[in-house]
Amino acid sequence: MTTNLDARLANHSSTLLSIFRIVFGLAYTIHGSQKLFNWPVPAPGPLSVGDWPMWWAGLIEFVAGLLITVGLFTRIAAFIASGEMAVAYFWMHWPPLEGPKGSFWPLANNGEPALLYCFGFLAIAGLGAGSLSVDARRRGRVGAGGVTGYSTGQPVRRRGLLSRFRRPRY
């Protein structure tokens, strides 16, 4: 039974990864919009433009969250978001550093969301954006029959930023 379920879900892994990325990206964007625009729920305290570190964290969360949601530059945006959440956990929640004195455990020191975001975004950075993303469309790996390129065993020809100015090889 497990192998049957594994086989069924394997066909949808890229779509499920995209859904995971979209939900995580939207939730992260909402955290950033709360800090920057006091929307949808007002921030816990007043924040003015440029306040360190909360306003800058909100800017990273909003921009990286939007990029992750639409799937544009997903790997680098998720890596930056993961790093920001690691800094937030170690700086604000873990007791030996500058955070308030409390327990080591994330459940007790209110660092559980930061820890989950950190490793969720690290997973997205490693796995990619999935099939429902701008990155997949931009690279041309998604066709009518599904993911193409790496699955054929042929090397994928990537064109760089300045490739249109290079001379063709004969």
CA 23 to chain centroid, in Å, comes to 10
Which stretches does DSSP call E strand in 46-132? none
| Cβ–Cβ < 8 Å for 63, 109 | no
Q: Is 133 helix (H, G, I), strand (E, B) or coil?
A: coil
What DSSP letter does each residue of 40-68 carry, written as one string? Answer: SS--SS---TT-TTHHHHHHHHHHHHHHH
Q: What integer best gives the mean pLDDT of the chain?
A: 83
**Which of these ranges, 81-95, 99-113, 117-131, has the smallest mean pLDDT?**
99-113
pLDDT tens string 26-62: 999 999 999 999 888 888 877 888 888 889 999 999 9
pLDDT average, residue stretch 5-21: 89
d(CA 89, CA 84) in angstroms, rounded, equals: 9
Cα–Cα distance list, 87 to 47, 82, 105 (Å) = 20, 9, 16
pLDDT tens string 68-97: 999 999 999 999 999 999 999 888 888 676
Which is higher by pLDDT, 124 or 170? 124
Percentage of the chain beyond pLDDT 90 is: 48
Residue 51 is predicted with a pLDDT of 87
Percentage of the chain beyond pLDDT 70 is: 77
pLDDT greater than 90 at residue 152? no
Residue 148 is predicted with a pLDDT of 45
pLDDT greater than 50 at residue 145? no
d(CA 69, CA 40) in angstroms, rounded, equals: 18
Which is higher by pLDDT, 54 or 163? 54
Confidence of residue 19 (pLDDT cuts 50, 70, 90): very high
Residue 99 is predicted with a pLDDT of 53
Taking the whole predicted model, whether its pTM rises above 0.85 is answered as: no
Orientation of helix 74-88 relative to helix 54-70, angle to 10°: 150
